[in-house]
Amino acid sequence: MKIDLNISVLFFFLCWYGMKKAIVIGAGIGGIAAAIRLARKGYAVKVYEASAYPGGKLSEFKMGEFRFDRGPSLFTLPQYVEELFELCGESMSSHFAYSELPILCKYFYPDGYVFEAKGNKEENIKALAQAFDEDEEKVRAFFSKAEFIYNTTAPLFLERPLKLSKLYKTKAFWKGILRIPRLPLMGSYTVQLKKYFKNPKTIQYFQRYATYNGSSPYKTPALMQLLPHVEQGIGAFIPDKGMYDITFQLYELAKRQGVEFIFNSKVEEIIVEERIAVGIRYNNTQIEKANVVVSNMDIYPTYKKLLSKEIQPRVILNQEKSSSALIFYWGLKDYVNKSLSIHNIFFSDDYFDEFRKIFEAENLANDLTIYVHVTSKHIPSDAPANGENWFVMVNAPNNKGQNWDEIVEIARRNIIQKLESMLGEKIGDKICCEHFWTPSGIEADTSSHLGALYGNASNSASAAFFRHANNSSKIKNLFFVGGSVHPGGGVPLAILSAKTMTEFIS
């Protein structure tokens, strides 16, 4: 029996030693997805993560009796998560459950008007037209065009590598070429909105979608009209156990595929020999060799810190970065607000000035648009009985060395004052525990350059083409995933980046 056991161990060791090896730097959601796909391609995969936990921005933490999702709060395009389970021969429903939101969001306007966006697109079209005195057919035409833009561009750019030699061979490429005259290629997103809507409230409602990729609605191109289709046409969802459950379930799926996660291990360098990535140096002196190296770290520090001796893609690295966020996590005891939904937006009175301050003055306006996310309305265990967990976020400039202590103090005061005024209730004295996350903190905790949430901003028509590809054209066996590279920022696209990355790997 002992001999048989030793032979089995030896056989396993020899098989592992003979396998192709892959290293993934960073256990963000893109890195986890990449690890799963590499394991399915037959690689022995090790993921090195500087933190003590997986997920990066898509993680969780607790304060006393309150649980909070740290970052992303809206779940869209669930097919990309399901695809990973199917790739591994498993059913997603056996591990991960989610629900479609019947109410997308409640919008609170400065004049006291409240609009409740419906999860059903047809119902929402009618509600928008009625609430804001818009032409129902124009609202429907807006969504129809949004769907057309998405269906044209997604197969062409989002779901494929940025590699023209592969792209022009696809049906999607030639289909997209023929559709170009019907795409809104000129003007800003806000200019595009004014072609459909007359009420400033309707325009502001749709303008906020520009923040989904960290851009200004006054600068981002008209093509961003596709964003409302993702949420309202395809659907918006909430995981039954919170957003972190996406991370947790994919992390567990990766481990079932044999992926090894090594936490508290900071990668210092990607080792390159004769223009080939051959491994990493981590925790100062330790070396690990591999056939493939994948960076899930933000592309800027990947080059500046891990590839400092290599040629830098300066045009891409020097592109304008997206906005960041200032987030307050508040535990409220003995307080339940029945007027709030799971997702809530409190609009500012001067949207233009708010974004001018963010992207030009690199500061916060006094009157802010406030997002309040309350998961305990869907997951009661996220807060104690008769309490709520509030994720309170405002759009913020990325980190340029501002005095964040001062900004936090002023913003906190303005946010509480505005929420109390618009809700007609005292809130400040109900906060029993608090934590906040600034752009400088986001940068320090997640290695996101300047604390930018989405890598490069999409404030120009060419921005999408200035994201780094998922492979290196200069260094063999080096690849990139995550929100700062192709196809873009946000949970679904970070997961999708792993799929486009593996198309370069045999």
Using pLDDT thresholds of 50, 70 and 90, give the confidence band for residue 459.
Answer: confident
Band of pLDDT at residue 167, cut at 50, 70 and 90: low
pLDDT band at 127 (very low <50, low <70, confident <90, very high): very high
**Average pLDDT across the chain, whole number:** 92
pLDDT for res 376: 98
- pLDDT confidence bin for 173, thresholds 50/70/90: low
Q: Is the peptide bond before 161 cis (omega within 30 degrees of 0)?
A: no
Mean pLDDT value of segment 344-372: 97
Tell me the per-residue pLDDT of 9-67, one tens digit each, with 9 for 90 and over: 444 454 445 689 999 999 999 999 999 999 999 999 999 999 999 999 999 999 999 99
The residues facing 396 across adjacent strands are: 324
The answer to whether 251 touches 260, Cβ cutoff 8 Å, is no
Mean pLDDT of 102-116: 97
Q: Which residues of 197-206 are buried (b: 16+ CB within 10 A; e: fewer)?
A: beeebbbbbb
**CA 370 to centroid of chain Cα atoms:** 19
Segment 383-410 mean pLDDT: 97
Task: Tell me the C-alpha distance between 275 and 169, whole Å.
Answer: 29
Q: Residue 196: in which H helix or E strand, if any?
A: none
Structure tokens at 235: 């659907």
Give tens-digit pLDDT for 299-336. Answer: 999 999 999 999 999 999 999 999 999 999 999 999 99
pLDDT reported for residue 10: 46
The pLDDT score that the predictor gives to residue 156 is: 74
Whether the predicted pLDDT of 428 surpasses 90: yes
Percent of the chain with pLDDT over 90: 84
Domain 2-56+243-319+464-502, CATH class in plain words:
alpha beta
Contact 265, 280 (CB under 8 A): no
How far apart, in whole angstroms, are the C-alpha atoms of residue 423 and residue 321?
34
Rounded mean pLDDT, 427-433: 95
Domain ranges in the chain are 2-56+243-319+464-502, 99-237, 323-446
- Say which DSSP state 302 is in: I
Query: What is the model's pLDDT at position 182?
Result: 65
Residue 143 CB burial class (10 angstroms; 0-12, 13-18, ≥19): buried
C-alpha to C-alpha distance for 342 and 205, rounded to whole angstroms = 17
pLDDT, tens digit, for every residue of 338-356? Answer: 999 999 999 999 999 999 9
Q: What is the pTM of this model?
A: 0.92
d(CA 202, CA 32): 39
SS3 of residue 97 by DSSP: coil
Residue 177 has pLDDT above 60, yes or no: no
> Token pair for residue 42?
């037959």
Q: Which pLDDT band holds residue 364 (cuts at 50, 70, 90)?
A: very high
Burial string for 42-54 (b: 16+ CB within 10 Å, else e) reads ebbbbbbbbbebb
